[in-house]
Chains A and B, each alone.
Chain A
Amino acid sequence: MTEVDDYGQQIFLQGMMSRKVLKYSEVNNLLETAMRKDADVQWSKDERQSLLLSIINKVNKAIKPFHLVIKKCVDEDNGTNFFMLASVTKRSRELMAAAFEFKKGELEYLELLATSILEEENKFVSSMKAMNCCSKVEGVRFTLHQADEAVAKFKREKWLKEVYDGKLALGIRFISEMEEWIKGQLGEDVERCLLCQKLVVRGCRCQNCRQLYHKYCGEKLAKLRGGSGAEAKFSCKNCSQPVACEIAVDATVEDRDRTPQSQRGASRRASDEGRVKESRKRVIIEDDSD
């Protein structure tokens, strides 16, 4: 069978709906089931790719009227590809919470966490800070215990991810499903990877001009030029300086509220107004050594 039929489409769609976020191997298994592939038939890599593409296109065409889409998203840390069924329209909060199967207060808490994460230069927060957010949940009493359970759930369902031994960063599902929300939060501070033009939250930063790139985009480019591994570098598209393929972490910027002075190195390309806006958010006024 080379064409996917309606039944196959239904299988594929239900599988995606149920699993929410799927790895490549899972998607391939789902594809085989949807196509009712015989165990002894071997598909070439090209055949497989082309079938996958055709089934995704067929499904997307069918679900477009319902503001749903199957999209591919890439993990910012390790470059793993995931597929997920996401909504493309702005839904009401009740509908969102229901669609994501969140309990009372969980959506608000997640958004508080995400806001807190996006406020950080490095785009991650300590779990302590995450727990403290639970008191800010409006309208419903959200206990520490509930916060603890919620964070575990968010990690499991890929809304958040753990980085650097206990810190919380935005997970692949959040970045994919809530892209518009993130852009709204960041405003003019939103950064796009110059290599793929898409939103980047955590990535490799050019030390010279502060341009941010996806780690996986940089690695792909570095590989083309012959570099690989930890020493891999690629040329910044903006200023041509070499950029290392590792996610920039400004170690001195950990837990903003505590450090009285942070050395942030070269200034960001953000406008002065943006900078003032940012420092107002922080309690302590930093000394920017340019």
Chain B
Amino acid sequence: MSQAANLSKELLNEYNISNDDLQKMVSDAVTYFLVADQKKSIIRKADLVKACDLTRRDRKLQDPIIKLAALHLNNIFGIEVRDLSKTSTYILVNKLSEINVGEFLNWSDREAAHMGLTFIILALILMNNDRINEEALFDFLRTLGVYDDGTTHIRGGNPQIEEEVLELFDGDLRKFVNETLVSRQHYLKKERVVQNEESEQYFYLWGDRAEAEVKPSMVFKMVCGVFKCEPSMFKEQFDRIRQRENLSEEDFALQDQSDK
């Protein structure tokens, strides 16, 4: 906590503001972070600054205040503020997701469904060498029984989509993927590839939030668990992930079924 204390002291000295003033600005920032994160949207610096009434102040105060808020969130709440390398935007990453605190994090049916599907899609992308084209993704969702665009398939019957399941995604999977997962939450990233004048294709990749929150090795272990096979069976993905996360073969031992 002394890091926070030192920074506070610095600010008080340098900028001629009262302690109460400083406390209020930091407190507002922390509250804003917590509240804005509930929808898991990315937090824009401009919105944060406006909400904390920092626009009227010395611009140079903004960054240190945000830094102080981040320190408090880290030390007291166990939540990390990640600055996305792009234009001043932040996401909150829960440091506690490592251990089995899931019992206390109350997911509603809706949230659980969203998380479940997001995870599956991330797994699909990972196993497909980090990118998948739009058609393949929605084809997959169709076979999963969550997506129906009304077309009949030559390949045999579609699984019937349950109303209840569809309800959890507000009835529109395409909208869920594109608006929620890509635009708002940044779990996925959508890339446009122009092949030639006639055709362009869209690809889905892991988004910034997925990169920050999810470990590929964890996803990979889950996939191997589902297929009940050794990690080495998926040699290409296995090698790639191992290298990326700098892990040894033992780290992938399938005995820990505790991954949920």
Contact = CB atoms under 8 A, between A and B. Distances in A.
Interface in A59-78: 62-63, 65-67
Nearest to B100: A33
A18 interface: yes
Interface stretch (A95-103, A226-234, A250-258): A95-103
Interface residues of B, number: 25
A10 B31 CA distance: 16
A9 B23 CA distance: 21
Contact of A11 (B27, B30, B34, B96): B96
A242 interface: no
Contacts of B226: none
B31 A66 contact: yes
Contacts of A11: 78, 96, 101, 104
Mostly helix, strand, loop or mixed at chain A's interface? helix
A7 interface: yes
A105 interface: no
B72 to A, nearest CB: 8
A19 B26 contact: no
B77 A10 contact: yes
A101 B76 contact: no
A33 B27 contact: no
Interface in B29-47: 30-32, 34-36, 38
B106 A19 contact: yes
A216 B103 CA distance: 31
B215 interface: no
Contact of B27 (A6, A29, A66): A66
Interface string B71-115: 010011111000000000000001110000101111000000000
Interface residues of A, number: 25
Contacts of B94: 14
Given A18-B106, A19-B104, A63 B76 contact: yes
A101 B77 contact: no
Interface string A12-31: 01110111100000000110
A97 to B, nearest CB: 10
Contacts of A17: 34, 77
Given A9-B76, A11-B101, A14-B94, A98 B30 contact: no
Given A13-B76, A14-B96, A67 B27 contact: yes
Contacts of B96: 10-11, 14
A30 B72 CA distance: 22
Contacts of B75: 6
Interface string A152-188: 0000000000000000000000000000000000000
Contacts of B106: 18-20
B32 to A, nearest CB: 8
Given A95-B35, A98-B38, A65 B101 contact: no
Contacts of A63: 76
Nearest to A15: B104
Interface string B44-87: 00000001000000000000000000001001111100000000
Nearest to A7: B78
A14 B26 contact: no
Given A7-B78, A10-B95, A65 B104 contact: no
A18 B78 CA distance: 13
Interface in B140-167: none
Residue from the set B75, B78, B79 with the largest chain A CB neighbour count within 10 Å: B78
Given A10-B78, A13-B78, A18 B31 contact: no
Residue from the set B30, B31, B34 with the largest chain A CB neighbour count within 10 Å: B31
A13 B105 contact: no
Contact of B78 (A14, A33, A101): A14
Interface of B: 23, 26-27, 30-32, 34-36, 38, 51, 72, 75-79, 94-96, 101, 103-106
Given A13-B77, A14-B78, A66-B31, 11 more contacts: A13-B78, A14-B77, A14-B101, A14-B104, A17-B34, A18-B106, A33-B103, A67-B27, A95-B51, A98-B38, A99-B31
23 contacts: A6-B75, A7-B78, A10-B78, A13-B77, A14-B77, A14-B105, A17-B34, A18-B105, A19-B104, A29-B103, A30-B104, A33-B104, A63-B76, A65-B23, A65-B26, A65-B72, A66-B27, A66-B31, A66-B72, A95-B31, A95-B35, A98-B35, A98-B36
Interface of A: 6-7, 9-11, 13-15, 17-20, 29-30, 33, 62-63, 65-67, 91, 95, 98-99, 101
- Give 4 closest A-B pairs by Cβ, nearest first: A10-B78, A15-B104, A98-B35, A18-B105
